[in-house]
Structure 1
C-alpha cells in the first residue's frame, strides 16, 4: 500500500493540497497543556453514526512537525493518511508556537540537490542576508532545538494523562530532533520507539536511546553530513549487536533536507524518498505499536 500517491493535483510546490479532516484541540482545554491537531480514520462503510472506528483507543501516533509547525497543511494531511492506514488516533502537537513563514526560506532552501547551482556568489550571499533579515526574530528557535523539548514533552504527558498506554513518534526535521530527545528521556516509558526523518544530529541523546528507531536521511544535507551518518551507524549498530535494539537507517540518494515532509513533483528521487520514508513509518507503527508482523 502506498502512503500518499503524489500527482500534479496533490502538490503546489512543496505543499500538499487537500482539506485536512481532523480538528484542532486548543491548549488549556481541560488539563491539556499543548494544542494539537487530532485526526481519526476516515469513515468507512459500516461505521455507525458517522463515527470512524479505531482499533484500539489506548494507542496513538504522534507526528512532530518541522520548524514550520502547523502553518502548512502537510503535517495534517499526512496525519490523516497515517490514521487511515493504521486505524488509530493520530496527533500533531503545536509544540512550535508562532512558526516562521515557510515561503521566506524558499530562496535558500533547495527542494533538490543543485537547484541553485547556477547562482553567482553575489546572488547567493544576497539571498542569505535577505532571509536572515526577515527571520531574525525566529533565529533563537531555529538554532536551539532544546528550546522546543519542554512543549514536545508536555504533548506526550497530555496523552499519558488521557489514558493512552502506547505511543509511537514520527518526526521531521526539527521534529526529528524532538524524537531523539524524547526517546532519550527514561521517563517516557509510554513511547515504543520512533521514526526520524532528516533531523539535526542530537548526538548527546544517542547513548541514552534504547528503543527501536528507523532513520531516513538525505545524502545532501548540511545539517546531517557524512561524518554524522557514519557516527550514527557506528553508535546504533553497536546497540543492535550488544543490546538487540532495532535500528535501521536509509540514506536517500539525490535528496536534500525536507524530503519526507515537504516533497516536490519537480524531482523524481524526492518523490520516491517521500513515499519510502512515510511508508516505512507505517510499517514501523504496525510492528512496534500494533504488534503486527
Structure 2
C-alpha cells in the first residue's frame, strides 16, 4: 500500500448477499447456498487495502460460495478502519499506463491522513485479527480445512499464512510487498495470479518465487509443494480485485483469475466433497 496503483479500480456490479457476523469479530459471512449438511471446508478471503467497505470483496466472496458450495469468510482485519477509504477509488488503466508526477503528488496528499490506519493495521497486527477469527471458526464451525485467497495487501497475507499450519491451500493474486524469503517457508499448495506490470510483484520477483518452489518440489516432493503461476497479459496491479470491466482484456483476465482460484480450491481444498 505505497503507490497510486493501490487506489485504482472500479466497483463490481451487483450487491452483496452475505452478512456481517458480530459474533465472529464482524467478519463478512457468505454461506454455502445449497447444502444439506454444514460445510466441512471454508475459504478465508483476504481483502485489499479498501477492506470490507468496498463491495467487490463481498461480491466475489458470494460468487466463491456459490461456485464452490462452501462457506466463505472475510476477516475484518482492519478492525473497521481500512487503509484506504472506498471514496478514494480511482479508475484503473492497462499495463502500459504510466504514473505521472502529479499522480504521485495526489497519492501522497491523499495518503497522509491515513498513516495512522497503516500503523494500526500493520501486517503483524492484522495477522493476529485473522488468527482470532480462525480460532472462532474452529471452535464454533468445526471446519476441517481452510483455504485462503488474497488480493494486493491480502495477497501478501496469503503468503504469510501459507508458511503456517492455519490454512491448507492458498491463492495469491498480485500481492503487495513481502520478503521473498517467505517463499522458502511455504508449507501448503499455492496458486499465483500475476499481473504483467506490478510495482510490488515484479516479473523478477515472480520468477524467483517460481524457481524457489520448483527447486523445493524437486528436492522434497509431496502435495504440499504443489504450485502454479499464471500470468495475465495486459494487466496491472489490482486487476483481479478491482477490474475495469469496460476493457475487454481486463474483464477477461479478471474472470480467468477467478476461475483459476475456483479450480485450485476444487483441486486442493474440496477433496472431501469431490470424494463423496
**Correspondence for 1:200 among 173, 176, 199:** 176
Question: Does residue 211 in structure 1 map to residue 188 in structure 2?
Answer: yes
Unpaired stretches in structure 2, ≥5 consecutive residues:
1-8
Which is further off, 222-231 or 156-165?
Answer: 156-165
Unpaired stretches in structure 1, ≥5 consecutive residues:
1-12, 43-51
Deviation at 1:102, TM superposition (A): 3.6
Query: What SS does the corresponding residue of 2:137 show, helix, strand or coil?
Result: helix
1:159 — aligned with what?
137
Sort the Cα spacing of 1:226 and 1:241 in 2 relative to 1 into closer, same or farther, 3 A: same
For the 8 Å contact 1:55–1:87, the answer to whether it is kept is: no
1:271 — aligned with what?
251
Deviation at 1:167, TM superposition (A): 0.7
Aligned pairs for 1:34-49 (under 5 A) are: 34-42=25-33
> How well do the aligned residues superpose, as a CA RMSD in angstroms?
2.2
Question: Does residue 174 in structure 1 map to residue 153 in structure 2?
Answer: yes
Aligned length: 256
Structure 1 outlier segments of 4+, above 6 Å: none
Question: Does residue 73 in structure 1 map to residue 77 in structure 2?
Answer: no
Larger CA Rg, structure 1 vs 2: 1
For the 8 Å contact 2:32–2:39, the answer to whether it is kept is: no
For the 8 Å contact 2:95–2:196, the answer to whether it is kept is: no
For the 8 Å contact 1:263–1:271, the answer to whether it is kept is: yes
Deviation at 1:216, TM superposition (A): 0.4
Deviation at 1:217, TM superposition (A): 0.8
For the 8 Å contact 1:64–1:171, the answer to whether it is kept is: yes
The TM-score, its normalising length taken from structure 2, stands at 0.85
Deviation at 1:103, TM superposition (A): 4.2
| CA deviations over 1:211-237 (Å, ceiling 9, x no partner) | 100000111101111221121111111
Deviation at 1:135, TM superposition (A): 1.8
Deviation at 1:243, TM superposition (A): 2.2
Query: What SS does the corresponding residue of 1:266 show, helix, strand or coil?
Result: coil
Query: What SS does the corresponding residue of 2:175 show, helix, strand or coil?
Result: coil
Query: What SS does the corresponding residue of 1:207 show, helix, strand or coil?
Result: helix
For the 8 Å contact 1:37–1:92, the answer to whether it is kept is: yes
Sort the Cα spacing of 1:272 and 1:66 in 2 relative to 1 into closer, same or farther, 3 A: same
Aligned pairs for 1:50-69 (under 5 A) are: 52-53=34-35, 56-69=38-51
Higher helix share: 2
| CA deviations over 1:135-177 (Å, ceiling 9, x no partner) | 2143465585444222122222221222112111111111111
The TM-score, its normalising length taken from structure 1, stands at 0.80
